[in-house]
Chain A
Amino acid sequence: MTVLGRLKSWEGLLLAVLVAVVAMNVVRSPYYLGVTNIANLFQLEIEKIIVALIMTLIIINGEIDLSVASVMGLSACVLAWLFQMGTPLPLAIIAGLLSGLAAGLFNGFWVAYVGLPSLAVTLAGLIGFRGIARILVEDRAIGGFPLWFNTMGQQPVLGPMTASIAIFFVLFAIIVVVLHRSALGRLVYVIGNNAQAARYSGVRVKRVKMALFAASGVVAALAGILYAARLGSVRGDMATGFELDVITMVLLGGVSIFGGSGNLVGVGLSILVILNLRNGMGLANITGNTQTSVIGALLILSVLVPNMAQVLQSSWKGRNT
C-alpha cells in the first residue's frame, strides 16, 4: 500500500468511526444535539486541539514535541506572575507568548543545530519548563484577572463560539493552507521523509526545524493563555499531562510517528472523533480517568490496526517480511 493509499483508507475509517460515535451520542443522550453542548464539546478541550494543529506539523516533520503541556503551563505562569506584580495584562500576555517563543527556540536550537533527538530534548523541556513555571508561581493559585480576559475564554462572542473556539478555527484554516499548499508545507514533508536528501537538495533543513519548534512554542503558549482565561486562574501544575491527548489526536489522524506522511483532514477528523467521544462519555457520566484510558486505547489502536492489517495482507500474499 502506498502512503497515500493508506491515508485515504485511514480517513475513510475515521469518518466511519466519527459517524458511529455521533450516532451513538445522539441515541444515548437527548442533550447531545444542543447548540450549547456542541459549543461545550469544543470549549472543554479547546486548548488541546489548538496545540494538536501545530503538533501535526512537528510530527510530519519527523520530530516530536513532548514539552507542549509544560510550555502551556509556563506561559500561563509567566502571565500570572507578571500580572500579580502589577504588569498591565496586555503586556503580561505578550510576555507569556514570548516565553513560549523562547521555549520553542530553545528546543529548536538543540534539535536543529546541535542535532540531539527531539524526544530527549523535549522530554527535558517537559520537566524543565514545568519547573520554571513552578518557580514563578510556586504553590499559589493566581487569579483575579480583569473581566475581559476571563470573558475571552468563557463567554460566547460569535454565536455560541467563545473567542478561543474562533481562534482554533482560524488557526486550523491557516495551518491547512501552510501544510498543503505552501512551500514550507512541502519542505515539512520532504524533511520528514528524508532530511539528508532534503539537505542535498539545498533545503535549509535546520531553519525549517527551528521555525517549526518556535511555532510550536508560540501556539502552545497561546493555548496556555487561553486555558488561563477559561479557568480564570493559574496554577503551576495546570495542563499537566495534556501531551498525551494532543499526540493521540495527531497519530489517530493517520500521521506517521516516523514522519513524512499524514495530513490535516485526518487530524481534523480524529479531533472530532475524540471530542465527541469525550463529550458522549461525559454526558453518560463517565469521568476523567476512564475517558483518558479510552483515549489511551485509541492511541494504541490507531497504530496497531493498520499494522495488523498490513501483516494480514502480506501473510495473505504468502510473502515473508
Chain B
Amino acid sequence: MSWLQRHIRPEQIRELSLLLLIIVAVLFFGSMIDGYYTSRTFNRIVSSIAIITIVAVGQTLVVLTRNIDLSVGSIVGCTAYAVGTVLGHYPGISPLLAVVMAVALGSLIGVVNGALVAWGRVPSIIVTLGTLAIFRGLLVDLSNAKTVTTDSLPPWLVNLPRLNMFSLFGLDIPALFLMSVIVVLIFHLGASYLSLGRRFYAIGSNPDAAALIGLPIRRLVFLAFVLSGSLAGLAGFVTLARFGNITVESGRGLELQVVAAVVVGGVNIFGGSGTVIGAMLGAIMIGTLEQSLYRLQISEFWRDAILGLLILLAVASDAVILQRLRALWGRADLKYVAPAGKPSLEGAHIP
C-alpha cells in the first residue's frame, strides 16, 4: 500500500480505471461485432474524437478554475463558418494562416466570456449559457443563414481528413487526430510543469488562499476562458476540414459531449483536480461508444442514455470512492521527529 501511496495518487487511479473501462468496452464491442478490430473502426473513432478532444482540453482548464464553458459549441460553429467563408473567397490562403485565423477568432470570442466572468463577476454557467445563444444568433444573422459548401473550399482542406501522417501497427494516424494529440500533450505538460498551469489548479482548489497569497485570480480565470475559446476555434477549423459543408447549425450541442468527456475523464466539476489526459480519455470513451453502438443490433439511440449514466457514475465515483481513497492517502500524516541536526526532543507520534 505504502508503495502505491508514494507513487500513485488517487487521481491517477481514477484515470487508470477509466483506461481499463475503455479497454473493457473495446473488448466487449469486439466480441459482439465481427470485423470490429479493423483499421477503419480505429480510424472512425480517432477522427470522430479529434474535435471533442481539442475542445475538452480547453474545457478542462476552465473547469479546473471552478467554472464551466457551455458556449464552446457555438464558438466552434462560428469559427468553422467564418474561416470557411474566408477560404471560400480567398482560396489562396495558406493552411497555417487559416489555422491562426481560427484560433485568433476563437480566443477573441473567449475574451467576451472571460471578461464577463472574471470582471463582470457573473457565474460562468449563466454567462456561457447566454453566450451559447448569443454567438449562435449572431452567426445566423451575420451570415444570412448561408451555407459553406465543400466546392468553395480549397482542395488541401477538403482532403485534410484523408491525410495520414504515419501508420502504427498498420493503423493509419490521421493528421487531424495527431493534431489533437499534440494539443493534449502540450497542455498536459503545461498544466503539470508550468507554474502558470499549477496556478489554475491552485485557484480552483482554494480561491481564498489563492487570493491571500496574491495570485491574480481574475486574470487566470480570464486566461482560462480565452484558452478555451482559442481551442474551440482550433476545433472549429478541424470541423470545417472534416465536414466541409458548414451550416449555421454546425457544432450545436457539442458542449454537452465535451462537458461529458471532461466529467467522465475525472476532472472535478468543482475545480482543483483533474488532468488534460483524463479529459482525452473521457473523449475516447465517448467516441468509442458513439462509433461502436450503432454497429450492434441495438440502435444508436442508446448512446445518450448510456452517456448520461456514465456521467452520473463518474461524478458518483468522484464523490464516494475518490473521497475514500483520499482519506486513505491522507493518513500519511505528520510525525514529530528529531529536528535535523538537533538532538531528539521527544518522539511522540500521532496515530
A/B: CB atoms within 8 Å of each other: yes
Q: Which chain A positions have C-beta within 8 A of B260?
A: 123, 127
Interface 9-residue window, one of A24-32, A39-47, A129-137, A177-185: A129-137
The 8 A CB mask of B249-284 against A (1 = contact, 0 = none) is 000010010011001000001100000000000000
The 8 A CB mask of A226-257 against B (1 = contact, 0 = none) is 00000000001000100010011001000001
Contact assessment for A131 and B302 in the assembled complex, using a CB-CB cutoff below 8 Å: yes
Q: Which chain A positions have C-beta within 8 A of B308?
A: 124-131
Interface 9-residue window, one of A4-12, A215-223, A297-305: A297-305
Contact assessment for A131 and B126 in the assembled complex, using a CB-CB cutoff below 8 Å: no
Contact assessment for B311 and A120 in the assembled complex, using a CB-CB cutoff below 8 Å: yes
**Closest CB-CB distance, A305 to chain B, in whole Å?**
10
Does A293 count as interface, using CB distance less than 8 angstroms?
yes
Does A121 count as interface, using CB distance less than 8 angstroms?
yes
Contact assessment for B141 and A307 in the assembled complex, using a CB-CB cutoff below 8 Å: no
Contact assessment for A115 and B319 in the assembled complex, using a CB-CB cutoff below 8 Å: yes
From A114, A121, A293, A295, give the contact of B138 (CB < 8 A).
A293
Q: Which chain A positions have C-beta within 8 A of B122?
A: 300, 303-304, 307
From A116, A240, A289, A308, give the contact of B120 (CB < 8 A).
A308
Does B330 count as interface, using CB distance less than 8 angstroms?
no
The 8 A CB mask of A103-121 against B (1 = contact, 0 = none) is 0000000100011110111
Q: Which chain B positions have C-beta within 8 A of A138?
A: 299, 301
**Closest CB-CB distance, B349 to chain A, in whole Å?**
34
Q: Which chain A positions have C-beta within 8 A of B4?
A: none
Q: How many of chain B's residues touch chain A, expressed as a range?
A: 35 or more
Q: Which chain B positions have C-beta within 8 A of A294?
A: 137
CA distance A138 to B306 in the complex (A): 15
Contact assessment for A127 and B126 in the assembled complex, using a CB-CB cutoff below 8 Å: no
Does A315 count as interface, using CB distance less than 8 angstroms?
no
Q: Which chain B positions have C-beta within 8 A of A127?
A: 256, 260, 304, 307-308, 311
Contact assessment for B140 and A114 in the assembled complex, using a CB-CB cutoff below 8 Å: no
Contact assessment for B125 and A257 in the assembled complex, using a CB-CB cutoff below 8 Å: yes
CA distance A129 to B304 in the complex (A): 8
Does B57 count as interface, using CB distance less than 8 angstroms?
no
From A114, A119, A307, give the contact of B121 (CB < 8 A).
A307
Contact assessment for B131 and A300 in the assembled complex, using a CB-CB cutoff below 8 Å: yes
Contact assessment for B312 and A135 in the assembled complex, using a CB-CB cutoff below 8 Å: no
Residue in B closest to A67 when the chains form the complex, CB atoms: B308
The 8 A CB mask of A278-289 against B (1 = contact, 0 = none) is 000000000011
Does B303 count as interface, using CB distance less than 8 angstroms?
yes
- Using known A-B contacts A110-B312, A131-B308, A134-B304, determine if residue A293 contacts B256 with beta carbons closer than 8 Å: no
Does A292 count as interface, using CB distance less than 8 angstroms?
yes
Does A144 count as interface, using CB distance less than 8 angstroms?
no
CA distance A303 to B116 in the complex (A): 10
CA distance A251 to B316 in the complex (A): 28
Q: Which chain B positions have C-beta within 8 A of A308?
A: 120
Q: Which chain B positions have C-beta within 8 A of A247?
A: 129
Does A296 count as interface, using CB distance less than 8 angstroms?
yes
Q: Which chain A positions have C-beta within 8 A of B133?
A: 244, 292-293, 295-296, 299
CA distance A124 to B259 in the complex (A): 10
Does A290 count as interface, using CB distance less than 8 angstroms?
yes
From B120, B127, B309, give the contact of A124 (CB < 8 A).
B309
**Closest CB-CB distance, A78 to chain B, in whole Å?**
14
Does B30 count as interface, using CB distance less than 8 angstroms?
no
Does B136 count as interface, using CB distance less than 8 angstroms?
yes
**Closest CB-CB distance, B212 to chain A, in whole Å?**
15
The 8 A CB mask of B56-68 against A (1 = contact, 0 = none) is 0000000000000
Does B82 count as interface, using CB distance less than 8 angstroms?
no
Within 8 A of A (CB), among B124-176: 125-127, 129-141
Contact assessment for B123 and A303 in the assembled complex, using a CB-CB cutoff below 8 Å: yes
Does B320 count as interface, using CB distance less than 8 angstroms?
yes
Contact assessment for B129 and A299 in the assembled complex, using a CB-CB cutoff below 8 Å: yes
Q: Which chain B positions have C-beta within 8 A of A129?
A: 308
Contact assessment for A124 and B311 in the assembled complex, using a CB-CB cutoff below 8 Å: yes
Contact assessment for A121 and B312 in the assembled complex, using a CB-CB cutoff below 8 Å: yes
Q: Which chain A positions have C-beta within 8 A of B302?
A: 131, 135
CA distance A300 to B128 in the complex (A): 9
CA distance A110 to B137 in the complex (A): 35
**Closest CB-CB distance, B304 to chain A, in whole Å?**
3
Does B345 count as interface, using CB distance less than 8 angstroms?
no
Does B96 count as interface, using CB distance less than 8 angstroms?
no
Within 8 A of A (CB), among B207-253: 248, 253
Contact assessment for A257 and B269 in the assembled complex, using a CB-CB cutoff below 8 Å: no
Residue in B closest to A106 when the chains form the complex, CB atoms: B312
Contact assessment for A300 and B299 in the assembled complex, using a CB-CB cutoff below 8 Å: no
From B137, B309, B320, give the contact of A128 (CB < 8 A).
B309
Q: Which chain B positions have C-beta within 8 A of A131?
A: 301-308
Contact assessment for A114 and B259 in the assembled complex, using a CB-CB cutoff below 8 Å: no
CA distance A251 to B116 in the complex (A): 17
Q: Which chain B positions have C-beta within 8 A of A289?
A: 136-137, 139-141, 248
Contact assessment for A121 and B307 in the assembled complex, using a CB-CB cutoff below 8 Å: no
CA distance A114 to B321 in the complex (A): 12
- Using known A-B contacts A135-B302, A300-B127, determine if residue A292 contacts B136 with beta carbons closer than 8 Å: yes
Could you pull out 14 A-B pairs where Cβ atoms are within 8 angstroms?
A120-B312, A123-B256, A123-B260, A125-B308, A128-B307, A128-B309, A131-B308, A244-B132, A289-B141, A299-B129, A300-B120, A300-B122, A304-B120, A304-B122
Q: Interface residues, chain B, CB within 8 Å of chain A? A: 116, 120-123, 125-127, 129-141, 248, 253, 256, 259-260, 263, 269-270, 299, 301-309, 311-312, 315-316, 319-320
Nearest 9 A-B pairs (CB), nearest first?
A128-B308, A293-B137, A131-B304, A131-B305, A296-B133, A296-B130, A124-B311, A134-B301, A300-B130
What would 12 more interface pairs be, CB under 8 Å, given A124-B312, A129-B308, A240-B253?
A114-B316, A123-B256, A128-B305, A130-B304, A131-B306, A244-B129, A289-B141, A290-B137, A293-B134, A293-B136, A296-B132, A307-B120
